[in-house]
Structure 1
Amino acid sequence: MRITHLFILLNFLIFCGCKPSKRHLIKIEGKQIAITDSLTSNPEIEAFVKPYRDNIEKDLDSVLAFSADTYTKNDGDFNTALGNFMADAVYEEANPIFNKRTGIDIDMVLLNHGGIRSILPKGKVTKRTAFQLMPFENSIVIVALKGKQANKLVEYLSRAKRAHPVSKLQLILDQDFNISKAKINNKNIVEGHTYYVATNDYLYNGGDGMSFFKPNDSVYVLNYKIRNALIDHFKRKDTIAPLRDNRFIQEN
């Protein structure tokens, strides 16, 4: 009986030319609920979370090394002690991994000035310090570049006029920001030679306008975060005391 009624109803709708109405979303309305001190926490949830929070806080505050002074990314026009430290740390921690996998050494490191998000304060250095310096999830990649692209890399640095951290590269500019000297691993750049440049995945994908990483001969993903490289480096070093040097300078 029910099937017969349904059949009659369908035929009636078809006969009448009726069509199901289409509904369209016209607008969405809502209101902002401010998070203030008036919102009380749930004691049961707080009690559940507390052991995990305490464990994380304890881990973050574990002391790894000692910083001899306070270092900032703004203490130099072209190279800074903090930037030098971070680029050198990436080289020292990533090169053994890369060499073990490929039998090849990293030729140089290039990071970005904006990627340094904190000072390195004098005193105890902890895991929390590494998270403050590098809160992003950027990972280390090694890009195989021909000398022609390596020249584009140094040209970019000469125009950028910022203290982008580098390691194993010496770049000297004249008073007009022209390149007076550019050496990778103490050798002149040769156009046909392949250079293995360590950087982060953000820059590899064109961040900060660094388009010279593509195309390339090959790219190696280490699955190794820069922050983890810093933590490993802190663990290996008793005292952190980086210096400004002549790796990237402008002549007077």
Structure 2
Amino acid sequence: MKKQVFLFFLIIGAGLTACSYHLQVTGSKQNVDDSGKSSVEMDSLIAPYRREMMKEFGQVIGEAETDLVTGRPNSTLGFWLCDKLIQHAKDSSFFRNEPVVAFINIGGLRADLPKGKITVGDIYKVMPFDNRMVFLKLSLDKIPEMEAYLKEKGGEPIGGFKLEKGKLVFPDNLAKEKNYFWVVTSDFLANGGDNMFFFNKPLQRFDTNTLFRDFIIEAVKKEQKIVFYPEERINW
């Protein structure tokens, strides 16, 4: 898929080059002829790559039976992704009996997934960044900072706990018993991106090579028919 991304930018760049030639039509007749020839040659050069890219990006991998949208304070797309991240963690023996939550940012989701068929290209629109999945072990002392952040931002996608009347509430006592919890997030946010400084100095950190975008693609392929109804996971 990285090859496809490269081809995408190659095609875009080639298109811009062709356009630059085309803009020379105000010059001499010779310039006009060269412009047309160069443009045709460029189109001929990139045509096979364009076809390959469109075939890959146009592949249907699933279907959304409800609208998956971004937004604050509650995001169906963000909540669905957070739940998938937690499920992925819980499928491993290491996290099976651990308190796990997900915390990402709405700014990292650049498009909605409206009701209908979902293609690989749609996921690239949602997640155009090469962010990777990270697991952070945090003490409960971080909770007040996270609550303040959510209030300041007006909400962000979360999973594994809820914000009720401004307080983060876990579904069970596991985090309280262990005095810590794990957060699934992106490397960008884990490094303090978007001012998420509460991720600084975790008790433990596991970095993975899994791209968020690839994870979403595989999650859609696995689920096939996605149904996620709006819910008030965050309220003040």
> One fold, TM greater than 0.5?
yes
CA distance, structure 2, for counterparts of residue 47 and residue 134 of structure 1: 30
* Greater helix share, structure number: 2
Answer with 107-116 or 190-199: which moved more.
190-199
C-alpha contact 1:182 1:189 (8 A) present in aligned 2: no
Unaligned runs of 5+ in 1: 1-32, 174-178
- In the alignment, what sits opposite 1:81? 76
- In the alignment, what sits opposite 1:9? none
Residues 105 and 187 of structure 1, relative CA distance in 2, 3 Å threshold: closer
- In the alignment, what sits opposite 1:16? none
Answer with 236-245 or 185-194: which moved more.
185-194
Q: CA deviation at 1:161?
A: 1.5
- In the alignment, what sits opposite 1:218? 204
Question: 4+ residue stretches of structure 1 with deviation over 6 A?
Answer: 101-104
Q: Confirm or deny that 1:206 pairs with 2:206.
A: no
C-alpha contact 1:73 1:116 (8 A) present in aligned 2: yes
Q: Which amino acid aligns with 1:130?
A: I
Aligned counterpart for 1:125 among listed residues 112, 118, 128: 118
Unaligned runs of 5+ in 2: 1-16, 24-34
CA distance, structure 1, for counterparts of residue 40 and residue 90 of structure 2: 48
Aligned counterpart for 1:111 among listed residues 73, 98, 104: 104
Q: CA deviation at 1:93?
A: 3.4
Q: CA deviation at 1:143?
A: 0.6
C-alpha contact 1:183 1:189 (8 A) present in aligned 2: no
Measured against aligned partners, the alpha-carbon deviations of 1:102-131 in whole angstroms (never above 9, x if no partner) come to: 776561000001111011122110111110
Measured against aligned partners, the alpha-carbon deviations of 1:115-162 in whole angstroms (never above 9, x if no partner) come to: 110111221101111101011111110011111113322332133223
Measured against aligned partners, the alpha-carbon deviations of 1:190-223 in whole angstroms (never above 9, x if no partner) come to: 3971211011111111112110111111111111
**Within-5 A mapping of 1:38-57:** 38=23, 41=38, 43-44=40-41, 46-57=43-54
- In the alignment, what sits opposite 1:35? 20
TM-score by length of 2: 0.76
Q: CA deviation at 1:91?
A: 2.4
Q: CA deviation at 1:71?
A: 3.2
Give the % identical residues.
25
- In the alignment, what sits opposite 2:159? 167
> What secondary structure, in the 3-state scheme, does the structure 1 residue paired with 2:61 have?
strand
C-alpha contact 1:146 1:191 (8 A) present in aligned 2: no
- In the alignment, what sits opposite 2:218? 232
> What secondary structure, in the 3-state scheme, does the structure 2 residue paired with 1:248 have?
coil
Q: CA deviation at 1:63?
A: 0.6
- Higher Rg: 1
Q: CA deviation at 1:187?
A: 3.3
C-alpha contact 2:68 2:77 (8 A) present in aligned 1: yes
C-alpha contact 2:101 2:160 (8 A) present in aligned 1: yes
C-alpha contact 1:138 1:202 (8 A) present in aligned 2: yes
C-alpha contact 2:132 2:211 (8 A) present in aligned 1: yes
Answer with 186-195 or 52-61: which moved more.
186-195
Say how many residue pairs are matched: 207
Measured against aligned partners, the alpha-carbon deviations of 1:216-251 in whole angstroms (never above 9, x if no partner) come to: 11111111111111100110112122122232223x
Residues 102 and 239 of structure 1, relative CA distance in 2, 3 Å threshold: closer
Q: Confirm or deny that 1:155 pairs with 2:148.
A: yes
Q: Which amino acid aligns with 2:228?
A: P
Aligned counterpart for 1:64 among listed residues 58, 61, 66: 61
CA distance, structure 2, for counterparts of residue 159 and residue 214 of structure 1: 19
Q: Which amino acid aligns with 2:163?
A: L
Measured against aligned partners, the alpha-carbon deviations of 1:31-65 in whole angstroms (never above 9, x if no partner) come to: xx983743554555544433232122111111111
> What secondary structure, in the 3-state scheme, does the structure 1 residue paired with 2:184 have?
strand
